[in-house]
Chains A and B, each alone.
Chain A
């Protein structure tokens, strides 16, 4: 059995779907847990999405860590964007992949599913983001439930 490479994650967070949606799409929240980057977009279909370094430039000098475009946007349930890495020179040469967030309300909590797929094989992007998403999702949950993100070194 061979599957197309993809990463699938699920996490349950005590918050409303609207709070979780803001946690994903509001730059002032993403900069607290998403590698110091602010997400920015008008969220119209086809509009650009960029993760800007909150303090201007990233470690490699550029001002944008990841860019893509809005493929689907249905607040507060589903967001799908293309994912072009700029933070890493090798991954930057790879074609864009796709990231989809899905929110499902369960009682006073939400189930967040994250799917990162459409990699061009087991690319450098594919390997590079695997551990990153685990940390980001754990930190997002902590931020929404306690008001403070996790302090994960590196």
Chain B
């Protein structure tokens, strides 16, 4: 209980809890935006809150999410106030067990396989966006390019070149549906492999996110929605670092990387 009081005895740490109370499940970068403190400073405060069990964390890929855990505060309340408010005690027990159940779900979620990649590219968000949605450009760094009218609910296809196309349903490597689109920041689409070895794998999901940092862009690509480490998961895990490296070369030098697929 002493660690809880010590953790609460600092205005910045109380503000961190306020932030998580407003919106649970934030990353260090998101939390840092609210403070005139270095990333390292915020990290130190979060560690103290974590040690006091006031903050729980969950890691997904390269991201770590922070959650407010009110149980230690309620235990303090129970110690001195519980006597005067018996009904709360049973409510507290209920809350604690539901939190434990939630933590388990999170653990299960974090064990679902997914790929997360980040790359920094010297270009504008508009140039990067064009490189996704213009099939003339995307065809230079990803398979047969990404062909779609890019409306939510529309289909998209990645057509294969002539010799390979004959072996594939309708000549496509991959097909899917546009799920979300927010130019020039965010594009989400479903992913169905059409190659015979992967055609039975369940649909997965790809998210491109663009964040401008000064004169460069940070591109984060998340490929998730996998139930297990299936053939699609393994195949795209080898492919995305190439695709993103080639995209970066295309935007910065005008030439993609000439790599065999």
Which residues of A approach B to under 8 Å, CB–CB? 1, 10-14, 88, 90, 106-109, 111, 124, 127-128, 130, 134-135, 138-139, 141-142, 145-146, 150-153
- Determine if B245 and A13 form an interchain contact, defined as CB atoms under 8 angstroms apart: yes
Given contacts A88-B40, A90-B44, A124-B43, contact A12 B257 (CB under 8 A): yes
A152 touches B216 (CB 8 A): yes
Given contacts A128-B43, A139-B120, A151-B214, 15 further A-B contacts (CB under 8 A): A11-B119, A11-B241, A107-B260, A109-B259, A124-B43, A127-B28, A130-B62, A134-B119, A134-B120, A138-B248, A141-B248, A141-B249, A150-B216, A152-B120, A153-B213
Chain B at the A interface: SS class:
mixed
For residue B232, CB closer than 8 A to chain A, the reply is: no
- Which A residues are CB-close (under 8 A) to B248? 138, 141-142
A150–B121 Cα gap in the complex (Å)? 8
In the bound assembly, the distance between CA atoms of A142 and B215 in angstroms comes to 14
B residues 109-163 near A (Cβ < 8 Å) are 111, 118-122
Contact assessment for A145 and B252 in the assembled complex, using a CB-CB cutoff below 8 Å: yes
Chain A interface mostly: mixed
Cα A139 to Cα B213 in complex, Å, equals 14
Q: Is the CB of B241 within 8 A of A127?
A: no
- Expressed in whole angstroms, the Cα–Cα distance for A131 and B168 within the complex equals 39
Assembly CA distance A141 to B241 (angstroms): 13
* Pairwise interchain contact B253-A145, C-beta atoms closer than 8 A: yes
User: Nearest-CB distance from B105 to chain A (Å)?
Assistant: 16
Contacts of A108 in B (CB 8 A): 258
- Least CB distance from B209 to A in Å reads 14
- Would you call B13 an interface residue if the criterion is a C-beta within 8 Å of the partner chain's C-beta atoms? no
Q: Which residue, of B62, B216, B255, has the highest number of chain A Cβ atoms within 10 A?
A: B216
The 3 A-B pairs with the shortest beta carbon distances in the complex, nearest first, are A12-B245, A138-B120, A10-B241
Interface contact A151-B215, CB-CB below 8 Å: yes
Given that A146-B252, A150-B216 are known contacts, is A107 also in contact with B241, CB under 8 Å in the complex? Answer: no
Distance between A64 CB and nearest chain B CB, rounded to angstroms: 19
User: Is A152 touching B241 in the complex (CB atoms < 8 A)?
Assistant: no
A12 touches B62 (CB 8 A): no
Give 27 A-B contacts (CB < 8 Å), ordered by A residue. A1-B111, A11-B245, A12-B246, A12-B257, A14-B249, A14-B253, A14-B255, A14-B257, A90-B44, A107-B258, A107-B259, A124-B43, A127-B64, A128-B40, A130-B62, A138-B121, A141-B248, A141-B249, A142-B122, A142-B248, A146-B252, A146-B253, A150-B122, A151-B216, A152-B120, A152-B213, A152-B216
